Structure 1
Amino acid sequence: MPRSASWHTPLCLAPPALRPWLTERGSLTARLMAHFPAFSVRVCTQASAGAHDDERRAIALARRKQQVEAREVLLMSGQTPLVFAHSVLQHRALRKGFRPIGRLGNASLGSFLFATPTIRRSPLAWRQIDARHPLWRKAAAHVADLPARLWARRSLFFAGHDRLLVTEVFLPPAFAA
């Protein structure tokens, strides 16, 4: 995945306690489960939607108005939201390499991605987001009293020629900056 300036903030600007979470190459779900025993996934939405401006190139959308499949979940510890996760892919990918995503329900996306040996992952990219970014606003629709800035990371997953972009926004209080 090309690391545009907007998604390659120097890691040294992130709070030291958050850096290992931002750079975790393995399953974020597995790591959350190890640290938060009451872990669960709460699906916010999974539907056809428009891609954000900074997502279109990453998933190789041919047309600006082309719809994508978007899945948004909260990764929870009991009733406490830990991470707002936003995933997008082209609809054709649901008929090919990423078919199981359409049937995940409350299962974690990571449980599928990291259990499938043919899926490859791009390098991680990260940045701070604020109320100007659509993902901050989407997280705020599900989580009250967000701080002005949140840290997020994203990466592409490849199944053959199909692409899935996963963005994870780290929420307070567990990941207070």
Structure 2
Amino acid sequence: MSDEAKQRAAQEMAYCEHVLAKSGTSVLLRTLPAEGLVTWKHYPQPDVFDPATGAQWYYHCHDDSARLGEHGHFHCFVRPQGRDSEPVHLVAVGVTGQGKLTRLFTVNHWVVGGDWRDANATNALLDRFNVEMATPDYLVNRWLTAVLTRYEDEIVHLNLARDERLRADGRPLEEVREDRSIEVLSELRVG
């Protein structure tokens, strides 16, 4: 990713945050229902999917999210062959209760399921994460796309660290990927 592309992405993130704040809202508030937030439930319903790129995302929060210094996180995927193919998890994007970016992280396979690919194959899909749709919220879609563009180099390293963590366990990879005691594999605090 060129420095110019990263700079444009950072500007787009700031622009989206500015417009939302000026309107008294945030990426978080535009994603969640006005009432009745349910932990673990995907927001919005159904997951956001761009048929032109295969990009997909959803937001959810956990019972222990506050302990992690976040409200919840966006899980970002690409479905390489379109809607009917299995999603490949790229990264999770943690945000505060004010909708500010707080961390990027990768998770074990059992957490999100889908098509597991090694870091190099996963990273090759990063530039496909581009959600250009007006619904459910154009600014949230653009902000999330900009986050993955701005932090692409860091996400590449997170996915490489994810694979190193799995190999370091010493057991067969299939066994480690289904070990429910191992959830987050790599993490970077940002913001």
TM-score by shorter chain over 0.5: no
Q: Which has the larger radius of gyration?
A: 2
- Band of TM-score, shorter chain: 0.3 to 0.5
More strand by share: 1
